[in-house]
Structure 1
């Protein structure tokens, strides 16, 4: 099993490709053919890092949106 993990971690997909794939997955719009290509070429470590970054950006955007709405008096 560790040999499979080593092979997966040695994949040469770029981090930009990984970010793009994770961004599309956040929206839930990913074609099956694109998913298969991602599985073959993306580094799983990059996918985890990009997912964490994406989640943090999403949470930050939500916090800023709530602060803006509350601060503008629209929610009051």
Structure 2
């Protein structure tokens, strides 16, 4: 297995599950998973991984005015 494949897979899964939580209306859990995904995926170069992060970010649209969503969009890797 190429170096980084496991990391990429974990990050992509977190982004996917985070997106599902957002689609189900669970902003808090979705954002938690999104932060984890971005932190992990910031260490890999992969268009596919970036696509999953972009899908996650698009799923945040219904909450775009929420302070925690605005903070995520400014600094996605931060959990503060």
Normalised-by-shorter TM-score class:
0.3 to 0.5
Q: Which has the larger radius of gyration?
A: 1
The TM-score with structure 2 as length reference comes to 0.32
More helix, by proportion: 1
